[in-house]
Amino acid sequence: MTSTSRITVPGLVGTAFTVFMAALWFFPLYWAAITSLKFEQDTLTKPPGWFPNPATLKAYGRVLWESNLLRWYFNTVFTGLVITFFVLLLCLLCAYAISQLSFPGKTLLYWALLAGFMVPGQALTVPQFILLNDLDSVNTYQGIILPQLIAPIVIIIYKQFFDGIPRDLRDSAIIDGAGEFRILFNIFLPLNWGITWALAIVTFIGAWNAFFWPFIITFSEQMMTIPVGITQVSDAFGVFYARTMAMALLAGLPVIIAYLIFQKRVTEGIMVTAGLKG
């Protein structure tokens, strides 16, 4: 006997609310897309046009050929990849040491990490800028990258997963003559590839979307990242909404593609970062 799904009032209300929230979320993207396909004189017409009539790619051409978009793409991809690699590597090593090794001050170090996790990143902006200025790292790649390597939450997540690995596994490897690095990279890391990929994708997306710190530490267009470069398009061309929206869509396109390809991993990473285990 097969059971048929029953339509209930709570189900209808829940479905209607979900559709409404999805439309509310999607509308700004739709409006940005149609604005980017309009002529500049048509972007501020009253009443506003819900469709580009006629449609044009002129705004995209102006952004591609009259701005440093390709350079901003390179800066963002390069810094994002470097940040992702070193965040995962350093956090992996730190989490393994805290989880599996015994050394003086271990508990104090872990509590310091928890405290660092609760400190807003903006509170560290001034001392970080002063330090990097003293190191002649303002408006450089290292100036963009170094402060973004601080990721206590990644250490905490890795530690939680390492704590769940049976202790006998490490003891057996030590008896067989394996060193700590071999145990970490040949045993512990393969057991956590799923969470590593999830954290890598979420870390890269966070580095790609970072605006505040790159905006503070860079001042030349050649060193700007995509989020900062969007503001320069407006400054260079005036308040031209079609070009601004075209730039915003081109800036978000790689992240959208990455999300569509790695949707499961992104969702898993967000859940883990929020302290959940799926």
What domains can be seen in the chain, in order of their start residue? 9-60 (no CATH), 67-273 (1.10.3720.10)
Work out the pLDDT band at 143, boundaries 50, 70, 90. very high
What is the arithmetic mean of pLDDT over 38-63?
81
Question: What pLDDT, on a 0 to 100 scale, did the predictor assign at position 246?
Answer: 87
Question: What pLDDT, on a 0 to 100 scale, did the predictor assign at position 277?
Answer: 43
Instruction: Judge contact between 226 and 208, C-beta under 8 A.
Output: yes
Question: What pLDDT, on a 0 to 100 scale, did the predictor assign at position 278?
Answer: 44
What is the arithmetic mean of pLDDT over 120-125?
81
Instruction: Judge contact between 48 and 34, C-beta under 8 A.
Output: no
In this predicted structure, the answer to whether residue 237 has a pLDDT above a threshold of 80 is no
In this predicted structure, the answer to whether residue 236 has a pLDDT above a threshold of 60 is no
Residue 263, Cβ density class (10 Å: 0-12 exposed, 13-18 middle, ≥19 buried): exposed
In this predicted structure, the answer to whether residue 1 has a pLDDT above a threshold of 50 is no
Question: What pLDDT, on a 0 to 100 scale, did the predictor assign at position 30?
Answer: 87
CA atoms within 13 A on the CB side of 240: 22
Instruction: Judge contact between 164 and 85, C-beta under 8 A.
Output: no
What is the arithmetic mean of pLDDT over 214-238?
80
Question: What pLDDT, on a 0 to 100 scale, did the predictor assign at position 233?
Answer: 67
Question: What pLDDT, on a 0 to 100 scale, did the predictor assign at position 276?
Answer: 43
3-class secondary structure for 185-198? HHHHHHHCHHHHHH
What is the arithmetic mean of pLDDT over 214-230?
89
